[in-house]
């Protein structure tokens, strides 16, 4: 039996997920929830069998799984509702959990409804290793993000830098994962993911760099502890429709959906 999926949001990630799940033998996208006023535009971009809705009242039937691809606000607003109904809830906008109240609320709803809160790895790898290392003891976790200057357009960086005139690598932020997730909500979901897998938001070091020589979105993770040392570097290509988002983020969401319906998971 195919897994039924409701997806919240239809930006660049949501569009890619919808394309990849079209006709999939493991999972079936049955509904997409968007902001009021966007319904008709989205209907014109997806298979006619997929319902496009804008209200929880229109959710029918209840899905097996809900995939959030929208925003921090959507995580806080819709996560508790579905979790309390016993429906597993997958989160792409991990930066929402930089607010401890949001994390606590969803964790409580998960326990109450007997459902699973699924934190997707998104644009980075090695989260399984980092989480495993934490059980033995982590001393230090550092995340460095390096992207072309214009990839930081529309972020907090514009307050201090003229992004169009940057000619050499410039550090635009250094601090904790918690602050990074708040200041760069569209760019720092990776920092939040690493924080949750490792030492937490206040003990994860983050450096964000605008680099005109960067050939893609570069993510580097360095960790040390009783387990040994770990170094992960990923050079990800951005989604064509959104240079701020790694294509691997969409692929991670698709993998999570398909894995739920498979007997063998990787």
Annotated catalytic residues are 219
241 token code pair: 């429709």
Residue with tokens 């790895």: 121
Q: How far is CA 244 from CA 8, 218, 233, in A?
A: 19, 12, 18
d(CA 58, CA 31): 10
Q: What sections of 114-173 are H helices per DSSP?
A: 127-136
DSSP labels for 165-212? G--S-EEEEEEEHHHHHHH-TTT-HHHHHHHHHTT-TTSEEEEEEE-T
Strands 228-236 and 238-239: unpaired
DSSP labels for 74-92? HHHHHHHHHHHTT-EEEES
Q: Which residues lie below 8 Å from residue 211, measured CB to CB, with a gap of 6+?
A: 146, 147, 148, 149, 168, 169, 170, 218
């Amino acid at each position: 039996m195919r897994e039924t999926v409701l997806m919240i949001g239809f930006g660049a990630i949501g569009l890619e997920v919808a394309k990849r799940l079209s006709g999939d033998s493991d999972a079936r996208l049955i509904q997409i929830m968007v902001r009021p006023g966007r319904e008709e535009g989205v209907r014109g971009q997806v298979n006619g069998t997929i319902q496009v809705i804008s209200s929880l009242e229109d959710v029918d039937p209840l899905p097996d799984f809900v995939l959030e691809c929208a925003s921090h606000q959507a995580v806080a607003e819709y996560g508790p509702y579905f979790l309390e109904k016993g429906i597993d809830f997958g989160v792409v906008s991990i930066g929402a959990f930089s607010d401890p109240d949001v994390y606590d609320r969803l964790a409580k709803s998960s326990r109450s409804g007997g459902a699973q809160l699924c934190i997707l790895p998104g644009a980075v790898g090695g989260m399984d290793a980092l989480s495993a290392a934490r059980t033995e003891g982590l001393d230090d976790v550092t995340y460095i993000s390096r992207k072309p200057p214009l990839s930081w357009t529309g972020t907090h960086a514009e307050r201090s830098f003229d992004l169009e005139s940057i000619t050499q690598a410039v550090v635009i932020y250094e601090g904790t994962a918690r602050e990074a997730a708040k200041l760069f909500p569209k760019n720092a979901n990776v920092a939040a993911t690493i924080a949750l897998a490792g030492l937490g938001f206040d003990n994860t070091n983050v450096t964000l760099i605008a680099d005109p020589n960067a050939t893609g979105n570069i993510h580097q993770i360095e960790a040390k502890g009783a387990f040994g040392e770990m170094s992960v570097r990923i050079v990800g290509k951005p989604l064509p429709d959104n240079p701020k988002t790694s294509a691997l983020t969409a692929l991670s969401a698709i993998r999570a959906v398909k894995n739920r319906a498979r007997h063998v998971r990787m």
